[in-house]
């Protein structure tokens, strides 16, 4: 480190070669990639944030061009850029409000192994910094809201340019409404201006993902960054956050605002966890699907909450197809695959909540053979009420045991049950996850739908079994349910429709069809299908009690869904089988 007459100068090493004097907007230009990448430049501005790796500097005047960013990150700990120098000094002597002159190499930065992620422009490689003045006023934030700019609501390319023009700048999001609840890392997803100019909203204030709109207008607030005690609060969908100011940056495929403080005014949307409308009746059988998110016997608090939820919110369904049941010792990799204690704990929790007695059925996987959390051995299984339903002995089987589509994935579980003289065949599924896909807002457009080919092959296996069952008896009471990790408008679930299976989502309005929230997008991943001849007997609902709520206060990351089949001459529930609201992709 060297001290010059003009002030403090930070330098890790000598900086050979010529440099070009430019403004920060000139570094960025108006495209997604700077024309100056690889060039050594000198620029100046006011420090707006300091990190353990460097600092952000913003031109206080800017260039009055909304297509260019006025700020940039200076990485003082970046690896060698090939010019023989490597900056390694600390930025600890730089403070917010310093006016600095900085020299460095224009560089693109993106996560390794993720070529689809939009890179960000930074200065790095032999960085030198000269502090010119202290205590300067910070540039006024750019307003995203009715009094400023609004992001594009459908066009991903336009959204990339919109947010790219704000990269590293101070930004204020006005009248934000939450569409993605607080996650474990503190991230909360919002829309500016209470959702003005946004895509399709759900019936409870969320943002619906559709076949034609991935909602690029979403903004992530990295709330945990404030460091305040008790922060972030457990935001849920429809909660409001007013006038939050911070630095805009691109991180892990999302545009994130890092709040400068927790001074935003908060009002809650007062969402309640829904209670099922469809209850068991004398002639009506209720069947639920519920992904209980890596549940083992060790999760005592979650067990108690789950028991109350099944009794109070789901009204004790006759049959529950559960997914992600773990073995007795959970993620501890002991070689055990038995889940009897996990099921016993659920059944006891239901009884403790005043519910009926249940029994359970599953077929355990081989150790670590079916994917999911290592050691947990997740599998689909069934809970059924012993006072109303009888399990048909020896009817359980797993599909796809020798099918390559189900390698390292949960195998569907088939069971037969009897109710009031009717026999019911239920197939419980948990298809491959989307984790291998690319970001919705990334450089690859349209994005890659991770493991879609595998889920398609899995759906074909399920569909063939369903067809075989219906060919043997066209009037079979067949229910295909579970976590399909897919929306109905994608190929895998279209294939199920080719086998004559009808999604029960078709009985609902589109803005009611969601069971999961991914980065602020409400989407339907959990489904129930039946053959067409059961439609006159069927009612259906999704019970929104998890996906809209903060990660710390829910049972699972999925909402359960319930179908009621009534074997009588008439079905009294108004509008129960009206399909007038279904999108065309359902059939």
- pLDDT digit of tens for each residue in the chain (587 aa)? 232 323 333 433 334 557 899 999 999 999 888 999 999 999 999 999 999 999 999 999 999 999 999 999 999 976 544 444 444 344 568 999 999 999 999 999 887 667 677 889 999 988 999 999 999 999 999 999 999 999 999 899 999 999 999 999 999 999 999 999 999 888 999 999 999 989 999 999 999 999 999 999 999 999 876 556 666 678 999 999 888 999 999 887 789 998 887 776 677 777 999 999 999 999 999 999 999 999 999 999 999 999 999 999 999 999 999 999 999 999 999 999 999 999 999 999 999 999 999 999 999 999 999 999 999 999 999 999 999 999 999 999 999 999 999 999 999 999 999 999 999 999 999 999 998 888 888 888 888 899 999 999 999 999 999 999 999 999 999 999 999 999 999 999 999 999 999 999 999 999 999 999 999 999 999 999 999 999 999 999 999 999 999 988 799 999 999 999 999 754 444 333 333 344 443 33
Considering the domain delimited by 2-133, tell me its CATH architecture: Beta Barrel (2.40)
What does the alpha-carbon distance between residue 79 and residue 126 come to, in Å, rounded to a whole number? Answer: 9
| 2-133 and 142-267: identical CATH topology | yes
What CATH number does domain 284-586 carry, 3.40.640.10, 3.60.10.10, 3.40.50.12780, 3.90.1170.50? 3.60.10.10
Overall size of the chain counted in residues = 587
3-state secondary structure of 308: helix
Query: How far is residue 361's CA from residue 382's CA, in Å, rounded to a whole number?
Result: 5
544: CB partners within 8 A, 6+ apart: 204, 273, 274, 514, 559
SS3 340: helix
CATH architecture of 142-267: Beta Barrel (2.40)
CB atoms within 10 A of CB 23: 17
Closest to 337 measured CA to CA, from 410, 391, 404: 410
Residue ranges per structural domain of the chain: 2-133, 142-267, 284-586
Cα gap 166→384, rounded to integer Å: 54
């Amino acid at each position: 480190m060297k001290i010059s007459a003009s002030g403090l100068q930070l330098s890790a090493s000598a900086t050979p070669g010529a440099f070009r004097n430019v403004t920060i907007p000139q570094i960025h230009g108006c495209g997604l990639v700077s024309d100056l990448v690889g060039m050594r430049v000198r620029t100046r501005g006011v420090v707006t944030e300091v990190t353990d790796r460097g600092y952000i500097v913003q031109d206080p005047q800017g260039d009055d061009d909304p297509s260019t960013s006025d700020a940039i990150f200076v990485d003082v700990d970046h690896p060698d850029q090939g010019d023989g120098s490597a900056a390694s000094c600390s930025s600890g002597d730089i403070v917010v409000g310093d006016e600095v002159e900085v020299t460095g190499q224009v560089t693109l930065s993106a996560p390794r192994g993720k070529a689809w992620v939009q890179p960000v422009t930074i200065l790095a490689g032999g960085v030198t910094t000269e502090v010119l003045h202290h205590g300067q006023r910070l540039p006024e934030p750019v307003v995203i809201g009715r009094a400023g700019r609004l992001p594009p609501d459908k066009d991903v390319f336009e959204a990339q340019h919109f947010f790219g023009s704000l990269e590293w700048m101070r930004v204020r999001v006005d009248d934000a409404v939450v569409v993605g609840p607080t996650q474990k890392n503190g991230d909360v997803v919002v829309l500016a201006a209470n959702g003005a100019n946004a895509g399709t909203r759900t019936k409870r204030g969320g943002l619906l993902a559709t076949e034609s709109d991935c909602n690029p207008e979403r903004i992530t607030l990295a709330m945990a960054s404030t460091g305040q005690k008790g922060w972030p609060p457990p935001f849920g969908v429809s909660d409001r956050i007013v006038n939050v100011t911070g630095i805009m940056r691109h991180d892990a495929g999302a545009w994130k605002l890092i709040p400068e403080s927790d001074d935003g005014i908060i009002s809650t949307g007062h969402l309640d966890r829904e209670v099922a409308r469809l209850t068991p009746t004398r002639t009506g059988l209720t069947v639920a699907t519920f992904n209980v998110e890596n549940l083992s016997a060790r999760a005592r608090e979650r067990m108690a909450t789950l028991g109350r939820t099944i009794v109070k919110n789901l009204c004790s369904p006759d049959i529950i197809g559960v997914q992600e049941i773990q073995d007795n010792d959970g993620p501890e990799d002991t070689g055990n695959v038995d889940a009897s204690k996990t099921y016993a704990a659920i059944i006891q929790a239901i009884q403790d909540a005043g519910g009926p007695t249940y029994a359970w059925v599953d077929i355990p996987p081989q150790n670590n053979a079916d994917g999911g959390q290592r050691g947990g051995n997740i599998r689909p299984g069934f809970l059924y009420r012993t006072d109303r339903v009888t399990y048909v002995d020896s009817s359980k089987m797993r599909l796809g045991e020798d099918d390559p589509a189900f390698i390292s994935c949960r195998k569907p579980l088939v069971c037969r049950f009897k109710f009031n003289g009717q026999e019911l065949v239920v197939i419980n599924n948990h298809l491959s996850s989307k984790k291998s896909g690319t970001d919705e807002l990334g450089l690859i457009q349209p994005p890659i739908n991770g493991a879609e080919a595998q889920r398609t092959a899995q759906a074909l296996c399920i569909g063939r079994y369903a067809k075989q069952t219906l060919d043997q008896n066209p009037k079979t009471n067949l229910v295909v349910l579970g976590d399909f990790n897919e929306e109905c408008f994608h190929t895998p679930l279209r294939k199920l429709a080719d086998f004559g299976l009808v999604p029960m989502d078709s009985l609902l309005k589109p803005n009611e069809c969601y069971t999961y929230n991914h980065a602020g997008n409400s989407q339907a991943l959990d489904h129930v299908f039946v053959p067409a001849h059961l439609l006159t007997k069927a009612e259906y609902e999704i019970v929104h009690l998890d996906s809209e709520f903060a990660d710390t206060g829910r049972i699972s990351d999925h909402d359960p869904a319930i179908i009621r089949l009534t074997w009588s001459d008439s079905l009294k529930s108004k509008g129960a089988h009206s399909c007038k609201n279904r999108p065309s992709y359902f059939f």
